[in-house]
Amino acid sequence: MSQDSVAADPVNQNEQYRNVSMWWDTLPDNLVGNPRAPLTDIVDADIAIVGGGYTGLWTAYYLSQADPSLRIVVLEAEVAGFGASGRNGGWVSAYFPTSLATVAKSSNRDSAIALQHMFFDTVKEVGQVAAAEGIDCHYRRGGTISLARTPVQLTRAQASIDDNRAWGFGPEHYQLLSADETRERLGATDILGATYSPHCAAIHPARLARGLAQTVERAGVTIYEHTRVTSLDPGVVRTDHGVVRARKIVRATEAWSSQLPGHERAIIPVYSLMVATEPLPQSFWDSAGLRQGETFGDQRHLIIYGQRTLDDRLAFGGRGAPYHYGSEIKPEFDRHQPVFDGLWDVLRELFPSLAPYRITHKWGGPLGIPRDWYPSVGFDPVTGIGWGGGYVGDGVASANLAGHTLADLLVGAKTSRTALPWVNHKSPEWEPEPLRWLGVNAGLRTMTIADAEEARTGRSSKLASLLAPLLGGH
């Protein structure tokens, strides 16, 4: 949805955002709310935050906690929670997309392990803050299951457990489940086993984003919606209708960073799409399980992810939508019928008893991927500009930790967070077009082919590793 597509009637404006995702469509009216005013003048602030998603809102939250006297302004091109924060799979996951070996190579072993432990703690932090602030985001820390449904996938699952053991993470962090143990949690087809980690929670992501926006406003933060930033430079942020002069600035734009002048090759927007079923009867859940709010996926190369929502839907997503030339982002890219059809096919393969039921929602949106698949957070005291992002689709917990860390950096506090190895990490730029378009889409296609090859041959595919240097660092 573009800014131009919003109706002129301010009272009903935000209602039109309900079509962004199933999460937006199921928001209570008090969280949809009326639109916030746009910026229309020159404003002075201590800190200007560009982006009204999780990273920007968590940064504002922790800053307001650290120093209530700060004048904090958040600038959002659409409405708070419009982007990935209101569309994602609802996983508060401790997963970090860069391997610990890569993190250790750029720092050291102890720092890599400390980063992972901080992510474990962050999963709980999100739930604790939501509870303390009265944000009913349906938080359920049931852990996450990654199914192994072929012998190749089971071998891959065992290898991941072995790798985690080598880093000192025991069964309290990661377990290999037998087929029977897996079926006690999730009743899918063809189960041979699974990995399980308790370090994940399921949430209603739009409830968290919208509730967090209201929370920071109560703390004195000003949010300007429908305010598109056209440029940011040291000390000044220019928008389509006004200017913010600020001592410090935070870029918290994730996939939309590619649309900012000077950042076109810093992050690429790659689309992830989702479907959701109608609320399913107890007879389905008696066999399907997920009783503790577990999230689930499997060991295939092309990522899938799902959860049982609090109103008993299956919300299910995956990659596979094409990358668009020049890092273009358009509303029509949020919907790609072949991917929706593929997601529904996979769901019915996992749960054949879904056949009589309906898909009620289809949606998608871009996520941000840096060239080395290494998320980062940082602050340059010389320019006064900070940033956080590049979460590769696992941004719910990452954005919380990034926001907390940015707050520390902006107020000059030295903490265990500011010592983590992702702080001030600089990813290389993506290749220029058309190399970027050719490489990313070839990589996405390769993952699909690799999964099909493994299903057909029963052997691990070598294709999946061919484009790994182009697609990421893990």
Residue 2 has pLDDT above 80, yes or no: no
Cα 438 to Cα 404: distance, rounded to the nearest angstrom? 37
Judgement on whether residues 273 and 177 belong to the same structural domain of the protein: yes
DSSP code per residue over 112-164: HHHHHHHHHHHHHHHHHHHHHTT-----B---EEEEE-SHHHHHHHHHHHHHH
Q: In 3-state terms, what secondary structure has residue 381?
A: coil
Asked if residues 371 and 98 have their Cβ atoms less than 8 Å apart, the reply is no
Judgement on whether residues 158 and 215 belong to the same structural domain of the protein: no
Q: What are the tens digits of pLDDT across the range 151-175?
A: 999 999 999 999 999 999 999 999 9
Residue 470 has pLDDT above 50, yes or no: no
- Name 222's Cβ contacts closer than 8 Å, sequence gap at least 6: 45, 71, 72, 73, 74
Judgement on whether residues 241 and 301 belong to the same structural domain of the protein: no
Q: What was the pLDDT predicted at 349?
A: 96
CB neighbours of residue 28 within 10 Å: 10
Cα 256 to Cα 267: distance, rounded to the nearest angstrom? 8
Asked if residues 428 and 371 have their Cβ atoms less than 8 Å apart, the reply is yes
Rounded to the nearest 10°, the torsion over CA 389, 323, 443, 307 is 60
Q: What was the pLDDT predicted at 472?
A: 43
Q: 175 is in which domain, residue-wise?
A: 140-201+268-369
pTM above 0.85, yes or no: yes
Q: What was the pLDDT predicted at 458?
A: 80
Going by pLDDT thresholds of 50, 70 and 90, the confidence category of residue 263 is very high
Judgement on whether residues 197 and 238 belong to the same structural domain of the protein: no
Q: Which two tokens stand for residue 251?
A: 């870029």
Judgement on whether residues 326 and 192 belong to the same structural domain of the protein: yes
Going by pLDDT thresholds of 50, 70 and 90, the confidence category of residue 272 is very high
Residue 473 has pLDDT above 50, yes or no: no
Strand partners, 276: 315, 361
φ and ψ of 368, to 5 deg: -100, 130
Judgement on whether residues 296 and 182 belong to the same structural domain of the protein: yes
Going by pLDDT thresholds of 50, 70 and 90, the confidence category of residue 462 is confident
Going by pLDDT thresholds of 50, 70 and 90, the confidence category of residue 466 is low
Q: What was the pLDDT predicted at 7?
A: 38
Q: What are the tens digits of pLDDT across the range 175-186?
A: 999 999 999 999
Residue 228 within a domain: yes
CATH code of the domain covering residue 331? 3.30.9.10
Quick one: residue 459, left, alpha or beta (phi over 0 = left, psi -120 to 50 = alpha)?
A: beta
Judgement on whether residues 188 and 288 belong to the same structural domain of the protein: yes
Name the packing angle between helices 109-132 and 205-218 (round to 10°). Answer: 80
- The more confident residue out of 305 and 448 is 305
Q: What are the tens digits of pLDDT across the range 109-136?
A: 999 999 999 999 999 999 999 999 999 9
Q: What was the pLDDT predicted at 252?
A: 98
Judgement on whether residues 172 and 308 belong to the same structural domain of the protein: yes
Residue 138 has pLDDT above 50, yes or no: yes
Q: What are the tens digits of pLDDT across the range 229-241?
A: 999 999 999 999 9
CATH code of the domain covering residue 65? 3.50.50.60
Cα 286 to Cα 284: distance, rounded to the nearest angstrom? 5
Q: Which two tokens stand for residue 468?
A: 């790994």
Residue 101 within a domain: no
Going by pLDDT thresholds of 50, 70 and 90, the confidence category of residue 43 is very high
Q: What are the tens digits of pLDDT across the range 375-418?
A: 999 999 999 999 999 999 999 999 999 999 999 999 999 999 99
Residue 284 within a domain: yes
Going by pLDDT thresholds of 50, 70 and 90, the confidence category of residue 465 is low
Q: How far is CA 417 from CA 117, 137, 378, 440, in A?
A: 11, 25, 11, 32
Judgement on whether residues 306 and 215 belong to the same structural domain of the protein: no
CB-based burial label for 106 (10 Å; 0-12, 13-18, 19+): middle
Going by pLDDT thresholds of 50, 70 and 90, the confidence category of residue 447 is confident
What is the residue-averaged pLDDT of the chain?
93
Q: What was the pLDDT predicted at 198?
A: 98
Q: What was the pLDDT predicted at 9?
A: 47
Judgement on whether residues 74 and 40 belong to the same structural domain of the protein: yes
Residue 396 within a domain: yes
Cα 174 to Cα 199: distance, rounded to the nearest angstrom? 9
Judgement on whether residues 285 and 360 belong to the same structural domain of the protein: yes
- Name 8's Cβ contacts closer than 8 Å, sequence gap at least 6: none
Q: What was the pLDDT predicted at 474?
A: 31
Q: How many domains does the chain have?
A: 3
Q: Which two tokens stand for residue 76?
A: 């959002």
Going by pLDDT thresholds of 50, 70 and 90, the confidence category of residue 438 is very high
Residue 109 within a domain: no
Residue 469 has pLDDT above 60, yes or no: no
Nearest to 129 by CA among 332, 401, 465, 379: 401
**Rounded mean pLDDT, 264-271:** 95
Judgement on whether residues 57 and 34 belong to the same structural domain of the protein: yes
Going by pLDDT thresholds of 50, 70 and 90, the confidence category of residue 443 is confident
